[in-house]
């Protein structure tokens, strides 16, 4: 955590010396760097591996009923109305619990009372393109497309190390993007950033098999312009999604997965322009 903060601070300081040039209205090229830090609250989270497996409630039985750290890194480069965005979103939650009831994951049974390490890792990378369909001053509305790379690492492990089940998956997900800012004056603004998609076809969901899935990453922020090249904001974000189907590439014996997640994230962020 400290190393990542130091790296982020170094990048900000490195770019800071060029901020005056980049913020020059005469310069068509735009560079924006965002860093957010706050907390995540899990609203709803269930998972099932194997069609005969347990539908496990992470919030009720898996220790996800507390707050977890949240970070987010974004870089954007634009020229005129065209902008390319790159996002890295860490999203890993690990808890230790004692099972209240039997848990069947694929064909492995963890009896009630077993001490468990539960790791839910679902960080993702996202490359987006947007075009400003409306713009007036600093206010704008942009539409575009994103390609998200999921990087799932989910496992169940008994504390004594005798039982372990893992499910890993990497794959692309196409997403529709909406982004906009509304400035009230030269200091205050509200903004939204929405990436979302639903698909039940192998062609659209980035898989080589029929798999129902959805993604929604939506935020509402209130911001304050501190200088010509630095803004601060408070952000409220929903991150959630679903994945259900049978995969030939799954670590599960019968390939079945049903994963449903909804989180609320509150963060303070800074944008360097």
Q: Please give the model's pTM, rounded to 2 decimal places.
A: 0.86
- 41/262 Cα distance (integer angstroms): 9
113: region left, alpha or beta (phi > 0 left; psi from -120 to 50 alpha):
left
Domain edges within the chain? 1-272
1-272 to CATH, choices 1.20.1440, 3.30.200, 1.20.58, 2.40.128? 2.40.128
CA distance 120 to 154: 5
Question: Residue 176 has what pLDDT?
Answer: 96
HEC letters along 29-97: EEEEEEEEEEEEEEEEEEEEECCCCCCEEHHHHCCCCCEEEEEEEEEEEEECCEEEEEEEECCEEEEEE
Region 207-214 average pLDDT:
68
Query: In the chain, which ranges are continuous DSSP H helix?
Result: 2-16, 19-22, 58-61
Are 38 and 31 within 8 A, CB to CB? no
Give the pLDDT of residue 23.
Answer: 53
Whether the CB-CB separation of 130 and 141 falls below 8 Å is answered with: no
How far is residue 229's CA from residue 270's CA, in Å, rounded to a whole number? Answer: 10
Residue with token string 């408070």: 234
In the chain, the N- to C-terminal Cα span, in Å, equals 25
Q: Which residue has the higher pLDDT, 143 or 150?
A: 143
Q: Is the pLDDT of residue 17 over 80?
A: no
> Can you tell me the distance from the alpha carbon of 166 to that of 112, in angstroms, rounded to the nearest whole number?
19
Hey, how many other C-beta atoms are within 10 angstroms of the C-beta on 15?
Answer: 16
Cα separation, 145 vs 136, in Å, equals 22
- Residue written as token pair 């049974």: 109
203/216 Cα distance (integer angstroms): 19
70, pLDDT greater than 70: yes
What is the pLDDT of the chain when averaged over all its residues?
88
pLDDT of 161 > 70? The answer is yes
pLDDT of residue 95: 97
User: What average pLDDT does this structure show over 250-258?
Assistant: 74
């Amino acid at each position: 955590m400290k190393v990542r903060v130091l790296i982020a601070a170094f990048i900000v300081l490195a770019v800071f010396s060029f901020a005056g040039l980049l913020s020059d209205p005469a310069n068509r090229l735009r560079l924006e760097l965002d860093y957010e830090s706050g907390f995540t609250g899990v609203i709803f989270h269930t998972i099932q591996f194997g069609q005969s497996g347990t539908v496990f409630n992470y919030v009720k039985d898996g220790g996800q009923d507390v707050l977890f750290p949240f970070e987010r890194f974004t870089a954007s480069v634009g020229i005129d109305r065209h902008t390319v965005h790159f996002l890295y979103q860490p999203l890993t939650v690990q808890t230790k619990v004692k099972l209240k009831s039997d848990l069947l994951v694929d064909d492995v049974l963890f009896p009630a009372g077993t001490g468990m390490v539960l790791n839910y890792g679902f960080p993702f990378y996202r490359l987006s393109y947007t075009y400003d369909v409306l713009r007036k001053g600093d206010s704008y509305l942009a539409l575009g497309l994103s390609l998200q790379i999921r990087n799932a690492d989910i496992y169940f492990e008994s504390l004594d190390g005798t039982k372990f089940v893992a499910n890993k998956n990497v794959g692309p997900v196409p997403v529709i993007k909406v982004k906009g800012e509304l400035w009230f004056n030269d200091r205050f603004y509200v903004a939204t950033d929405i990436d979302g998609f639903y698909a039940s076809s192998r062609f659209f969901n980035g898989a080589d098999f029929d798999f129902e899935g959805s993604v929604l990453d939506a935020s509402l922020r209130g911001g304050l312009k501190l200088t010509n090249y630095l803004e601060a904001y408070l952000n409220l974000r929903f991150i959630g999604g679903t994945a259900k189907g049978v995969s030939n590439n799954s670590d599960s014996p019968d390939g079945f997965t049903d994963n449903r997640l909804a989180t609320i994230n509150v963060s303070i962020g800074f944008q360097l322009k």
